[in-house]
Amino acid sequence: MDDDERVLAERTIPEIVAYLRAIEDDEGADRLERQALRPQGQSLAAAILPTKYLRSGLVVGFVPNEGEQTRAIVDANTIEPEVDLKGRRVKVTLDQFFVQEYPGIGTHRILCEFAGRNQIADDIEELKFTLMVEAADRQPAAVIGKPIFMGLTIGEDGMNFRGQTVNICSRTDDLILDAINGDAFKGGLTLAATLQPALKPFVGLATNVVKAAIKRSLNMPVFKFDIGLDFNTRNLSARLRRGSYVIVQTSEAEWDWSRFSFAAQTRRVLRRADGQSLEANYFVIGIDDFAGEAARPAARPSRRPAAKSEQ
């Protein structure tokens, strides 16, 4: 991996502190330096755990499309897959991006890149889509149901979905922002049922936009994820079915989804104990039938006994 592409959590404490001071987040830098002076016997990971953007792992939960306004969240590796999705075209949407804590002060500008593969017959199209969002700490970005991939064809083995976020603090990125905010990026990536030669230049543009942003000294990758959603019930991978996937940035050793619920109207993850928001950065990604293809009846969600996820 290129040194520029390491997320913030993979860097040394001095590197992180230097970055925070460069973007004028002196309070965050001071706090991290104090946390690094940990008691004897305490690991560095435990010392910096309170800093939400320095968590490098993830957990994935699942929420069904149907149900009450307040819904249960279950481990995505315990649900039954919907095998009728094989060979079908689906839409993938960004239904929520909640920012609990990001580097910097005030309103954060965050570049989000999503990647996947479109399976058409024996060929595969590489996909990438990029958008810029703004949010302050402990607030959601102003996106609900934002199209990412429209008409993505599901392969026999399911789908792969990847993403990353980049904290944008450079003052010289107007050209990058203009490219992202242009018409080409506004409506998501709409795919055809056949290979599209014109898709490669678009994917190349999205890739180059992100690479250019990362190379700026004041911009920093914060979170990356790579999730396989398949139909195999005999392994511990996440399963694919219509619904919403909650992708949480965390390094906690154990995770119990029964402690949380999903508010369907606001797309927020709440603690059951007090109704307050989950204190973590997270995405909610929706997967459903593509409107250009008639939907088949979906099986009722079912799952095996829930087990704790380990990171």
Question: pLDDT tens-digit profile of 249-299?
Answer: 998 878 999 999 999 999 999 999 999 999 999 999 999 999 865 444 444
122-134: average pLDDT:
84
Query: What's the CA gap between 168 and 176, in Å, rounded?
Result: 10
Q: Which residues contact 52 (CB under 8 A, 6 or more apart)?
A: 100, 101, 249, 279, 280, 281
Query: What's the CA gap between 135 and 100, in Å, rounded?
Result: 9
Q: Residue type at 148?
A: I
**DSSP-assigned letters across all residues of 97-127:** EEES--SSSSSEEEEEEEEEEEEETTEEEEE
As given in the structure block, the two tokens for residue 302 are 């079912």
Q: Residue type at 88?
A: R
> Which stretches of the chain are DSSP H helices?
13-22, 26-36, 44-48, 174-180, 199-214
pLDDT of residue 35: 78
Is-contact 184 205, C-beta < 8 A? yes
Beta strands 159-168 and 146-153: pairing type? unpaired
Residue with tokens 């570049």: 111
200 pLDDT above the threshold of 70: no
Is-contact 35 47, C-beta < 8 A? yes
User: Which of 156, 151, 147 shows the shortest CA–CA distance to 85?
Assistant: 156
Considering the entire predicted model, what is its pTM? Answer: 0.83
Query: What's the CA gap between 56 and 70, in Å, rounded?
Result: 29
2 pLDDT above the threshold of 70: no
pLDDT of residue 119: 73
Query: What's the CA gap between 152 and 300, in Å, rounded?
Result: 23
Give percent above pLDDT 70 in the chain.
Answer: 73
